[in-house]
Chains A and B, each alone.
Chain A
Amino acid sequence: MGGLPIKPEINMEVALPPRMIQFSIAPAHQPSRTPAERNRRTIYTYRGRGQADPMLEILNLPNPNESCEVRDSAAVTPQAFTLMNSDVMTDRSIAFALRVQKECRDDTAKQIRRAVQLAYGRFPAANEQEHLESYVSEMLVYHNTHKPEEVEYPKQVVRSLVEEFTGEPFEFIELLNVYDDYVPDSKPWTVSADTRAMADVCLLLLNSNELMYVY
C-alpha cells in the first residue's frame, strides 16, 4: 500500500513515437526501473493527458478531465489483441505461472488448481481441470520445439517529425536512460518450456470471461 507514483511498461509502439505537445514534442514514455516499482495497481500510475496507457484505453479508461459516473463495459476487438498478444500480458502470464510453480513444486495438477483458485476464487470443476491438464502437456510439447528469441530493450530511439521553420521532416536521437540498468521481468526466453506452457494456461485465465466480469 502507498508509495511513490510509478510508470508501468506500456506498448513500445505507443511509448516511443514522437508526440506533439505545445511548442515541442513529448519525451518517450520510460517505465520505472524495477519490477517492484512498476508492476503495481493503476491507482499508483502517472497519467499523462496526452497519452494514456493503451491497455487502459481499450478498457474504457475515463477521461482525466471530467468526472465519470460509470465506465462502459463494452467488449471490443482491440481488447482481445492486447490481452492475448501484448508483451505486457505475456510477462504477466509468466509471472503468474512462476508463482504457481513456486507454490506447488513439480505437480502440474496442483499448479492448475492453484491458478484457477487465484483467478476465480474457486477450485476448477472436474472437466476444467482435465481440459487444462491436457492443454498444458500439449503446450509443453509445443514449447519444447518453439524457442523464443531474445528481444532487447532499446537504449535509444530515432524520432522523426516535421520542422516548423522549414516544413521538412527531420530526425533526432533520444536516449532512453532507464534501460541502461533496467531490471526486466521474467521473459519467455529466460524461463523454461514448462513455465511457458503453464503461462499459456495463465494467459487464458486472465482472458476468460469469469475473470473479466463480476456478477
Chain B
Amino acid sequence: MNMQITPRRDFLYGLGSCLGAVALTDLMAADSSGTGPLSPKQPLLPAKAKAVIMLFMEGGPSQVDTFDPKPELNARHTTESTRTKGLATGKRFFVGSPFKARKVGNAGIDMSEPWQFLADPEVADELCVYRGCKAESLNHPEALLHMNTGSRLGGDPGLGAWATYGLGSENQNLPGFVVMTELALPQAGPANWTNGFLPAHYQGTRLRSTGSPILDLNPPEFKTRQHQRRALDQLAMLNANHAAKHPEHRDLAARMESYELAFRMQTEVPGIADIDSEPKHIQESYGLERKECAALGRQCLMARRLVEQGVRFVQIFSGGWDSHDYLERGHSSRINSVDQPIAALIKDLKQKGLLEDTLVIWTGEFGRTPDNNYRGGVTALGRGHNVDAMNMWFAGGGVKKGTIVGATDELGAEAAEVVHPIRDVHCTMLNLLGLDDNKLTYFHGGRYKQLSQFGGEVIDELIA
C-alpha cells in the first residue's frame, strides 16, 4: 500500500491552510513515487536550470570597483561627502576607484582592470550583470543569512536546502547540496547552509579540500573496510529483528538504507574529490599552479565535477572582500585570487555543454559605499557597507547573456533602475530551476513558510 500514516496533529494542521497543503501534497506524492526524499522530482514549472553554482564573495565586494564603474565618483575623489547613510559616522570624503575600467567582449560588459581572465570575450559575453539589487542589513552575519536563507534572523533553510527539497538530486550517492569554503568559514557559519526547519536530508554538506572530504566519512584507521562491512551486516541483523516487530514503520527501512548509502559514498566521494585525475591543461586553466588561486581553483573545478555528477546545488565561499581601509590592495588581491578560477569554471562548463542548464551566481552579501569616513584623522581609501546598491552577476541556466540589467545612480550609491529586494533574486533563482516560491512551502512554527518569507516577484529582465 502506498500510504503514509499522518500523525493526527499533522492532519489537523493540514486542514488549516489550503494553498500550502496542495503544495505539500504534491511534494509528498513526488516522494512516494521515487525511493527517498532526495530522489529527483519533476519541477513545477518549465525549468531552465538543473543545477546552481553559487560563488559567494564574503565581506561585500564593491560594485564601483568591479562591474559598475562611475566616472563621476572618480572625479570627486577625496572631496567632501555629505551622505549620511550607512554605518559610518563623522566627516566623510568620496573615494574614487583605484582601478581603471573598460568595456570587454562583444557585449561591452563593464569590468575593472584587475579582472583579466573574466574579461576574455568567451567568458564575459556569457555574463548577465545585475545592478538593481538592494540588501537590507548592514552587518555581515545578518546580511549573509539574508542572501543565503532569505531571512536575516538565522534558522531558515539555505538556498540549496530549498532547491533540493523542491527538486531532489540526480545522484543518490552524493549529497545534493554541497558547500566549500576557500579558507575560513563565513560569518554566521553553517547557519548559511542549514536545512533549518526542513528535514535534515536537505542540509548542506561541507566538502573539505584537505583531510576527509566529508566529516567522519571513514572509520578510524584500525577499522578496515571489511570490518565495516561485517559491522553493517551485524547491524542489519539487529535491525531486522526490530523491524519484524514494527512492520508499520517505513522509516526503519529508510534508516537502514542510509547506512548502506553511507557505505557506498565512502568510495564515491573520494573519487569526486580526486581532481588530480583531470587533464593537466584543465588543472592549469583553473590556476591550480598559482599559489594565490589554488584553493578556489580546486573548489571551482570540484564544483564542475559535482554538477556533472548530478549534484543540485554547490556553494563556494571566498572571504576577505570587506575592504574598509585598503581597497586597492584588498580588492586587487581578492580579484586576483578568484578571477582565473571563476573564468575557467565558466569556460569549462561551456565546453562540457553544462553551462546552459547550470546557473552560476556571483554575489556578496551587500555592496559598498562611494565614500569613507575619517577615523582617527586618517584618510583611508576604503569603503563602508552599503545596502542600497551592490552588483552581482549570473551566467548560464537560462539568464540573458552579455547583458547589464538595472543601474545605480551616478555615484553608485543607490540602485536606481530595475530595483528589487533580495527576495526577488531568490524567486528568480527558484523560477529558473522550475520552482514557484509560492508553492515551495513547508509547514513550520504554525504556518507554511517559503524562501521569500512572504512572496516576491521574478525579475523578468534577467531571464532569456
Most buried by A among B153, B198, B252: B252
Tell yes or no: A17 within 8 A of B by CB.
yes
Residue contact A204 to B215, C-beta cutoff 8 Å: no
Tell yes or no: A149 within 8 A of B by CB.
yes
18 more A-B contacts (CB under 8 A) besides A57-B190, A65-B153, A210-B239? A17-B184, A20-B319, A22-B187, A66-B155, A77-B261, A80-B259, A84-B228, A132-B234, A135-B234, A160-B184, A162-B320, A163-B320, A164-B330, A167-B333, A207-B235, A208-B238, A209-B238, A209-B256
- Chain A residues with CB under 8 A of B251: 73, 75, 213
Residue contact A146 to B200, C-beta cutoff 8 Å: no
What are 30 A-B interface contacts by the 8 Å CB criterion? A14-B215, A18-B183, A18-B185, A21-B141, A22-B139, A22-B140, A57-B200, A57-B203, A63-B154, A63-B155, A72-B197, A74-B199, A74-B200, A75-B258, A78-B203, A79-B258, A82-B216, A84-B228, A160-B184, A164-B59, A169-B183, A200-B231, A203-B231, A204-B238, A205-B238, A209-B238, A209-B239, A209-B256, A213-B246, A215-B249
Tell yes or no: A148 within 8 A of B by CB.
yes
Most buried by A among B200, B234, B265, B446: B200
The B-contacting residues of A in range 167-214, CB under 8 angstroms, are 167-169, 188, 196, 200, 203-205, 207-210, 212-213
Query: By the criterion of a CB under 8 Å from any partner CB, how many residues of chain A are at the interface?
Result: 77
A127 to B92 CA separation, bound complex (whole angstroms): 80
- Chain B residues with CB under 8 A of A166: 326, 329-330, 333
Residue contact B196 to A210, C-beta cutoff 8 Å: no
A60 to B202 CA separation, bound complex (whole angstroms): 11
- Chain A residues with CB under 8 A of B203: 57-58, 76, 78
- Chain A residues with CB under 8 A of B175: 77
The B-contacting residues of A in range 67-89, CB under 8 angstroms, are 67, 69, 72-82, 84-87
The B-contacting residues of A in range 45-75, CB under 8 angstroms, are 49-52, 54, 57-60, 63, 65-67, 69, 72-75
- Chain B residues with CB under 8 A of A143: 222
Tell yes or no: A131 within 8 A of B by CB.
yes
CB distance from B16 to the nearest CB of A (A): 14
- Chain B residues with CB under 8 A of A203: 231
Residue contact A84 to B255, C-beta cutoff 8 Å: no
Q: Which residues of B contact A (CB under 8 A)?
A: 37, 58-59, 139-141, 153-155, 175, 182-191, 194-201, 203, 205, 208, 211-212, 214-224, 227-228, 230-231, 234-235, 237-239, 241-243, 246, 249, 251-252, 254-256, 258-259, 261-262, 265, 292, 295, 319-326, 329-334, 337, 445-446
Chain A 76-113, CB within 8 Å of chain B: the 1/0 string? 11111110111100100000000000000000000000
Residue contact A146 to B222, C-beta cutoff 8 Å: yes
A184 to B90 CA separation, bound complex (whole angstroms): 53
A78 to B195 CA separation, bound complex (whole angstroms): 13
Residue contact B200 to A76, C-beta cutoff 8 Å: yes
| Contact A85:B220 (CB < 8 A) given known A164-B322, A164-B324 | yes
- Chain A residues with CB under 8 A of B188: 50
Residue contact A20 to B222, C-beta cutoff 8 Å: no
CB distance from B186 to the nearest CB of A (A): 6
| Contact A161:B319 (CB < 8 A) given known A13-B215, A74-B201 | yes
Tell yes or no: A25 within 8 A of B by CB.
yes
Tell yes or no: A147 within 8 A of B by CB.
yes
A148 to B205 CA separation, bound complex (whole angstroms): 29
A26 to B303 CA separation, bound complex (whole angstroms): 28
| Contact A84:B231 (CB < 8 A) given known A66-B153, A90-B220 | yes
B210's closest neighbor in chain A, by CB?
A13
A168 to B215 CA separation, bound complex (whole angstroms): 28
A213 to B445 CA separation, bound complex (whole angstroms): 24
A69 to B254 CA separation, bound complex (whole angstroms): 24
CB distance from B226 to the nearest CB of A (A): 9
CB distance from B61 to the nearest CB of A (A): 11
Residue contact A149 to B221, C-beta cutoff 8 Å: yes
A87 to B222 CA separation, bound complex (whole angstroms): 12
Residue contact A146 to B139, C-beta cutoff 8 Å: no
- Chain A residues with CB under 8 A of B230: 135, 138
A3 to B100 CA separation, bound complex (whole angstroms): 62
A66's closest neighbor in chain B, by CB?
B155
Residue contact B329 to A76, C-beta cutoff 8 Å: no
Residue contact B320 to A78, C-beta cutoff 8 Å: no
A78 to B207 CA separation, bound complex (whole angstroms): 12
Residue contact B445 to A165, C-beta cutoff 8 Å: no
A45 to B282 CA separation, bound complex (whole angstroms): 47
A196's closest neighbor in chain B, by CB?
B222
The 9 closest A-B CB pairs, nearest first, are: A162-B320, A167-B333, A63-B155, A75-B255, A80-B262, A74-B199, A148-B222, A167-B330, A161-B184
